[in-house]
Structure 1
């Protein structure tokens, strides 16, 4: 099963945007992510719908941040991406009447729920500005203090 890297990829893009301080076109972002501009527009739409970026059409247009990196957490980005599943593990539905399967599913579901709660709480404590501070220098600009 492929892992979902949208959280890492879009956080990467948003930090670049914050450090560069300007607009980025879907084409430039697509080059950054080695993908298609249509995929970028579709993904950025969720961030726009949550009020984290805006888009302007035409010459000189593109995507820009509407919030400072210090106001955006990894959890915010995760939610804007539609809250994708954080684990590939899951319960079995092969034999729904089997008490053994039910017992395994109950234990697994509890453990996954608890682990997800811890992970999401941690994502809520990490701002994109925190991550940007780890970047030595991007495009001639220093990371925010």
Structure 2
């Protein structure tokens, strides 16, 4: 997985949050730890908030924290909340007039859908509590 992907940022951040779920973390703290911009953090974590995985509070004592217990949040929850696929769909801009190409695209799309389903099922079997390792003191 790319280090700079939204999924990587989300998994990394929530993995740290699982260690101390009630601790508020600011976008700036998360961004510094992840080596990215606070705006990127807010965009990614905003999607997780919309999915009910995080809560946020504004103001001096504000920040981000888990909305549910770490044992109740699966990696699939995070993946689905971001609405982004790791599996290439093979879609093209315009439908092909070639029957062979059309059949090939249909078959590939079916295989990719099966892979995506399998990926989500596997991610659903792991919670962030299971991957939240020892706190390094950075986040």
Query: What TM-score results when the alignment is normalised by the length of structure 1?
Result: 0.82
RCO (CA 8 Å, sep 6+): is it higher in 1 or 2? 2
> Is the 1:74–1:128 contact (alpha carbons within 8 Å) kept by the matching residues of 2?
yes
Taking a change above 3 Å as real, the CA distance of residues 115 and 92 of structure 1, as seen in their structure-2 partners, is same
4+ runs deviating over 2 angstroms: 2-5, 91-95
Q: Which residue of 2 aligns with 1:138?
A: 135
Q: Which residue of 1 aligns with 2:70?
A: 69
Could you report, residue by residue, the CA deviation over 1:38-91 in whole angstroms, capped at 9, with x for unpaired residues? 11111111111122111111112111111111100111001211x212223514
> Is the 1:7–1:74 contact (alpha carbons within 8 Å) kept by the matching residues of 2?
no
Q: Distance in 2 between matches of 1:3 and 1:27?
A: 18
Q: CA deviation at 1:30?
A: 0.6
Q: Which residue of 2 aligns with 1:123?
A: 123
> Is the 2:87–2:115 contact (alpha carbons within 8 Å) kept by the matching residues of 1?
no
Q: Which residue of 1 aligns with 2:86?
A: 86
Q: CA deviation at 1:139?
A: 4.3
Q: Which runs of 5+ in 2 are unaligned?
A: none
Could you report, residue by residue, the CA deviation over 1:5-58 in whole angstroms, capped at 9, with x for unpaired residues? 222221110121221340100000111221111111111111111221111111
Task: Tell me the C-alpha RMSD between the 2 structures.
Answer: 2.1
> Is the 1:20–1:139 contact (alpha carbons within 8 Å) kept by the matching residues of 2?
no
Q: Which runs of 5+ in 1 are unaligned?
A: 141-145
**Aligned 1:2-13 pairs, distance under 5 A:** 5-13=5-13
SS, match of residue 96 in structure 1 = coil
Taking a change above 3 Å as real, the CA distance of residues 96 and 66 of structure 1, as seen in their structure-2 partners, is same
Q: Distance in 2 between matches of 1:97 and 1:110?
A: 19
